[in-house]
Amino acid sequence: MKLSSSVFALLCLICEIVSIALFLRGFFPVPVKSSFSAKSKVNDFPAEPQTGSGPNSSKAPAPLFKRVVIVLIDALREDFVFGSDGRRFMPYTRHVVERGSSHSFIAKARPPTVTMPRIKALTTGSIPGFIDVVMNLNSPALLEDNLIWQAKSAGKRIIFYGDDTWVRLFPKHFMEHDGTTSFFVSDYTEVDNNVTRHLDGTLKRDDWDILILHYLGLDHIGHISGPHSSLIGPKLMEMDDIIKKIHSSLISKESEGTLPNLLVLCGDHGMSETGSHGGSSEPEINTPLVLISPAFKRKAGFEEPGVLEQVDLTPTLALGLGLPISKNSVGHLISAVFEELSLREQLRLLQINGHQLSRLLQDSSPTFHKEDGYEQFRMAEKSHGSWMKLYVDGNTSEVLSNMGKKVLKQYLEALKAMSSALSKQLGKYDMYSMIMGMIFILQVLFLLLLAMPEALSREAVVDVPLASSLLSLPFYLLCLFGSALHVLICTSAGGPCYLCSLPWVLVFIVILMSSAFTCALASMAARRMSTGNKTPTKSSNWTLSELDALLLVGMVGHTLSLGSSSFIEEEHQTWYFLLNTLCLAVFQDVCRKYFREQRHRGEEEDEGPLLPSSAKEGPSFSPAAELGMSPGSEKWLALATPLLTLTCCRLLRSLNQTGVQWAHLPDFGHWLNSGDHKAFLSLLAVVSLVLIFLLVQRHCSLVSKIALALGLLGVYSYRAAVGNVLFPWQHSSRAVSKGTVEARFVYVFVLGILFTGVKDLLRSQVMSSAVDSGRLKSRGLWEVYSGVVLLVALLFRAHNLPTLACCLLIQTIMAQFIWKKLHYDAAQTTIMHYWFGQAFFFFQGNSNNIGTVDISVGFVGLESYVEAPAIFLTALSTYAGPLLWACHLLCFLSSQRDRAVMGLGHGSYCFALLRSIPAVFYVVLVTSLRYHLFIWSVFSPKLLYEAMHTLITTAVCLFFTFMDQERSARP
């Protein structure tokens, strides 16, 4: 099957998008969530069976504890308390665990074992999914139903000291708080002193109900020197003293007639043998959980602590405080805590917990009837009812207590089954889908790479041996093998699996395609080998210029840099750096072009001054002449171009500070937006808009020029209406409106210009003369381009308009003096466009963090939020930089008479390759780093950006292919 380069690139990109989508589906499992976003209320409690339907029947159970102190020690490993370290360094805690009235357990934390999701798990009782966290990056406050919210709305007074993640998650929830930043990992004393210094005062007071302490020092020590360092011992002793202090204070406050207090000692996650955390190794997920209260029976000696899930603490604490269990909690009650209660009360609490779990199960799984736990719970509820009947009747025989114990056991089993059914659905990567997506995307990449010599040849035609491979034997064998594997995996898979839930036909098509790809790849590789052996000399005469070397090194370097989380956070630095070097390399090329000629002429004069020689004008066409300048000045303009570009880039760089490490530094954009400098911002906006008009109008027809001018005026009046800039002729302070009318006015012109452009493009199809049609087509393309520019000008914030103007300026001068004059080929030009596009993505203030996406763009010209246009506009404005450069590349390549023939094909092929290499590398990388500490604070958002960028590139390639098809359709 013979395909032109552009069609080939487009098909590859489409396959890539599909496989990335599959990968993402596996990477971000759908979290278990109640379909109602409301929070649990007290009157949601189920009625206690057989007590009539009076108002008392569904009242909340009485609280068990008066006050609760939660001591959360970050990265407290299980053996720090229960192991030999605990015996040595935490004597008091060990004594309480062994002899005191306490319960101790090993609580298993779910990966990712990182602080923030663990705090979320402890407070909501759910297990946060990755997509959940990524989606919540914009609003760090926890909106889900949680224990803290429940406590606060029940009127409990909460005090918090420790890691400021809590303060960010629960703003305004605490009566008193002092957050400590965990940013400086090297400090392990101050962070804890900051918590402890409040302790004495707080313990003396009586005005609080819940005290939460989150100690960070141990985690920091782990990060610095690991779990066996000499710093661990003193830290654990310090913690032991704190436990002792709190415990004795609580005991001294204990008085007859009031409820007992509860002290909870727990860790959010453990610590691996190297001292880090985030993964799922045993020492990382096993944390101690010690509950200390006079309400419990005294221990006789050390018993092996029982194992439970970390989320089990949430319903236990909720019911212990007489609060409703939060909606998405998947844990079940720790029955030991309640064993001193009467049987009736115990059954009641278990019923409440079971009711909540069964509701969640109904919401999250369509096949909840088939779950064992659900059935068991129904049974248990029934026997609970008959037990209550006997109880209300006043029966107090042994039969009753035996029967009650049976009901209790039934309940416990039902709870356990439901809880595990719920947690099975989440917190797991769907590895099968991920690996299939990865295999696909790798196949596509190899296909692209193998096709490189053909795709970049003069014919720009790729021959994919698909038909022959469809008839080969290995293809059928592979299909069989794939199907067998699929059946095997799906029947044995433990967790949820997206591919297995797909219809059989779809999966079979997937297997067919994968096998066909493999066969095609093999035969292409074989063909390449044989031609490579035949003509080995062909590659040696292809020399690498400095610029080619730089472009290659840059691409490889950037791709490799994605392996480091800092380089992802600071990716803009990589691009700015590469772009600068590129400009300098281009500058050197220009110098070489203009000065070497001179040197050949002026070799005899040894120390002569550097006079501009009157360079011979080869071609009759000269860009300088077109701009109305003398031909002699063209050389100086060409020399000035890279320098001007460098200056522009340097200025833009300080316009929007982005990234993480230096994001807090003041930048020019903030200065402009601060309100005091509105006049300056207005002036800058006007200058930018005028510059945009001057730069864009050159290629357009008269009608489009007028439309463009009016449209840009509209942009300014929109910004004035929204209140960003000043209206010079209207001094009365107008009320700030939403500017809907103005924005729609601009939309009309955008559509008008786009329509004119498309009309020209279509008309060029039916023209008879090739020259005329070529000119018309080029004009049509430029008009479409100016339509896009106008739309982007509307969407960009006022302080970003200079970015757009600089973008257009650089495009114009580079095209005039560099790309045309220095005869860079289509591949080199494409790579440079790609680099510029990437740099402009960051120049406009984006970063690899979801938080920097400007969502307000979705409301431009709309009265209210409408999903489809809002998403489109947001995507357009976020990716404006790469998009504009890609559009410019298209216009530039097709306006080049001499190489338009294969230029477009080469361009779109290079674009596809440039996008595929980092995307594929990144997908593989993320798979291998899926237990990394920063997996979803850094790597997952970047994955979403990569996927989105690939989608945008596919759209651009589609446009390329259309233009290329028009060309090839003509004789």
Partner 1 sequence: MWDVEIRGMASAHAIIASSIFMATVMPAVFVENFSVYGTHMVWLYCMAGSVAVVNIAVFWLLGISPPTKKHTVSYKINRLFRSCLYFILSCLFFHTVVVLYGAPLLESALETFSLAVLLSTLTTLRCLCILGPNVQAWIRVFSRDGAMSVWDTSLQITTGCSVIGAWLGAFPIPLDWDRPWQVWPISCTLGATTGFLTGLLAAPVWIHWHRKQLTYKLK
What are the residues binding partner 1 (CB under 8 A)? 186, 564-567, 569-570, 573-574, 576-577, 580-581, 584, 592, 595-596, 599, 602, 606-608, 610, 646-647, 649-650, 653-654, 659, 661
Q: How far is CA 315 from CA 109, 151, 322, in A?
A: 16, 12, 10
From the list Zn ion, partner 1, none, which binds 19 (C-beta under 5 to 8 Å, kind-based)? none
From the list Zn ion, partner 1, none, which binds 219 (C-beta under 5 to 8 Å, kind-based)? Zn ion
**Could you tell me the smallest distance in angstroms from the CB atom of residue 583 to partner 1?**
8
Whether 141 contacts 193, CB under 8 Å: no
End-to-end Cα separation, the chain, in angstroms: 21
Near Zn ion by CB under 5 A, which window of 262-270, 341-349, 407-415, 423-431?
262-270
**Could you tell me the smallest distance in angstroms from the CB atom of residue 271 to partner 1?**
21
3 state SS of 536: helix
Positive or negative, the CA dihedral 705, 710, 716, 719 is negative
Amino acid at the residue 51: T
**Could you tell me the smallest distance in angstroms from the CB atom of residue 553 to partner 1?**
11
The residue among 191 and 334 lying less far from Zn ion, judged by its C-beta, is: 191
The residue among 569 and 946 lying less far from partner 1, judged by its C-beta, is: 569
Among 74, 144, 209, 571, which residue sits at the site for Zn ion (rule: CB under 5 A)? 74
DSSP for residue 676? T
The residue among 51 and 276 lying less far from Zn ion, judged by its C-beta, is: 276
The residue among 475 and 936 lying less far from Zn ion, judged by its C-beta, is: 936
DSSP 293-357: -TTSPBPSS--PPEEEEGGGHHHHHHHHTT-PPPTT------GGGGTTS-HHHHHHHHHHHHHHH
**Phi and psi dihedrals of 168, rounded to 5?**
-75, -35
From the list partner 1, Zn ion, none, which binds 779 (C-beta under 5 to 8 Å, kind-based)? none
- Please list, residue by residue across 719-735, b when 16 or more beta carbons sit within 10 angstroms of its beta carbon and e when fewer do: bbbbebbbeeeeeeeee
**Could you tell me the smallest distance in angstroms from the CB atom of residue 693 to Zn ion?**
54
The residue among 55 and 608 lying less far from partner 1, judged by its C-beta, is: 608
**Could you tell me the smallest distance in angstroms from the CB atom of residue 105 to Zn ion?**
19
Total residues in contact with Zn ion, by rule CB under 5 A = 4
CA–CA separation, 796 vs 719, rounded Å? 10
CA 510 to chain CA centroid, Å, is 27
**Could you tell me the smallest distance in angstroms from the CB atom of residue 790 to partner 1?**
31
The residue among 75 and 158 lying less far from Zn ion, judged by its C-beta, is: 75
Among 78, 144, 209, 268, which residue sits at the site for Zn ion (rule: CB under 5 A)? 268
The residue among 238 and 597 lying less far from partner 1, judged by its C-beta, is: 597
Axis crossing angle, helix 313-320 with helix 115-124, rounded to the nearest 10: 40
Residue with tokens 């009031």: 258
From the list partner 1, Zn ion, none, which binds 607 (C-beta under 5 to 8 Å, kind-based)? partner 1
Structure tokens at 826: 């289509």
Near Zn ion by CB under 5 A, which window of 69-77, 230-238, 459-467, 489-497?
69-77
The residue among 48 and 74 lying less far from Zn ion, judged by its C-beta, is: 74
Give which of 849, 826, 850, 855 is closest to 913, Cα–Cα: 826
Q: How far is CA 290 from CA 108, 118, 166, 324, in A?
A: 13, 17, 21, 23
Tell me the CB-side half-sphere exposure of residue 930, using CA atoms within 13 A.
Answer: 19
From the list Zn ion, partner 1, none, which binds 364 (C-beta under 5 to 8 Å, kind-based)? none
Count of Cβ atoms closer than 10 Å to residue 803 Cβ: 25
**Could you tell me the smallest distance in angstroms from the CB atom of residue 215 to partner 1?**
23
From the list partner 1, Zn ion, none, which binds 610 (C-beta under 5 to 8 Å, kind-based)? partner 1
The residue among 392 and 549 lying less far from partner 1, judged by its C-beta, is: 549
The residue among 394 and 608 lying less far from partner 1, judged by its C-beta, is: 608
**Could you tell me the smallest distance in angstroms from the CB atom of residue 160 to Zn ion?**
16
Tell me the CB-side half-sphere exposure of residue 370, using CA atoms within 13 A.
Answer: 3
The residue among 201 and 608 lying less far from partner 1, judged by its C-beta, is: 608
Whether 355 contacts 102, CB under 8 Å: no
Whether 374 contacts 358, CB under 8 Å: yes
Contact residues for 679 (Cβ-Cβ < 8 A; gap 6+): 726
From the list partner 1, Zn ion, none, which binds 845 (C-beta under 5 to 8 Å, kind-based)? none
CA–CA separation, 939 vs 922, rounded Å? 9
CA–CA separation, 786 vs 754, rounded Å? 8
DSSP for residue 101? B
From the list partner 1, Zn ion, none, which binds 577 (C-beta under 5 to 8 Å, kind-based)? partner 1
**Could you tell me the smallest distance in angstroms from the CB atom of residue 919 to partner 1?**
22
Rounded to the nearest 5 percent, the helix, strand and coil shares of the chain are 65, 5, 30
Among 104, 115, 682, 800, which residue sits at the site for Zn ion (rule: CB under 5 A)? 115
**Could you tell me the smallest distance in angstroms from the CB atom of residue 133 to Zn ion?**
15
The residue among 580 and 856 lying less far from partner 1, judged by its C-beta, is: 580
Per-residue binding string, Zn ion, 210-249, x by CB under 5 A, is: ---------x------------------------------
**Could you tell me the smallest distance in angstroms from the CB atom of residue 107 to Zn ion?**
14
From the list partner 1, Zn ion, none, which binds 115 (C-beta under 5 to 8 Å, kind-based)? Zn ion
The residue among 595 and 727 lying less far from partner 1, judged by its C-beta, is: 595
From the list Zn ion, partner 1, none, which binds 268 (C-beta under 5 to 8 Å, kind-based)? Zn ion
Near Zn ion by CB under 5 A, which window of 115-123, 325-333, 378-386, 395-403?
115-123
The residue among 164 and 589 lying less far from partner 1, judged by its C-beta, is: 589
**Could you tell me the smallest distance in angstroms from the CB atom of residue 557 to partner 1?**
8
Amino acid at the residue 231: L
From the list partner 1, Zn ion, none, which binds 531 (C-beta under 5 to 8 Å, kind-based)? none
Whether 882 contacts 838, CB under 8 Å: yes
**Could you tell me the smallest distance in angstroms from the CB atom of residue 97 to partner 1?**
38
3-state SS string for 161-178 = EEECHHHHHCCCCCCEEE
Whether 912 contacts 806, CB under 8 Å: no
Near Zn ion by CB under 5 A, which window of 107-115, 397-405, 674-682, 764-772?
107-115
Give which of 130, 112, 140, 139 is closest to 23, Cα–Cα: 130
The residue among 111 and 642 lying less far from Zn ion, judged by its C-beta, is: 111
Residue with tokens 């014919």: 459
3 state SS of 674: coil
From the list Zn ion, partner 1, none, which binds 189 (C-beta under 5 to 8 Å, kind-based)? none
The residue among 216 and 521 lying less far from Zn ion, judged by its C-beta, is: 216
The residue among 268 and 667 lying less far from Zn ion, judged by its C-beta, is: 268
CA–CA separation, 89 vs 234, rounded Å? 7
Which residue's Cβ has the minimum distance to Zn ion?
Answer: 115
Whether 771 contacts 657, CB under 8 Å: no
Structure tokens at 884: 């504009």
From the list Zn ion, partner 1, none, which binds 596 (C-beta under 5 to 8 Å, kind-based)? partner 1
Does 312 bind Zn ion (CB under 5 A)? Our answer is no
From the list partner 1, Zn ion, none, which binds 16 (C-beta under 5 to 8 Å, kind-based)? none
**Could you tell me the smallest distance in angstroms from the CB atom of residue 562 to partner 1?**
13
**Could you tell me the smallest distance in angstroms from the CB atom of residue 648 to partner 1?**
10
Residues making contact with Zn ion (CB under 5 A): 74, 115, 219, 268
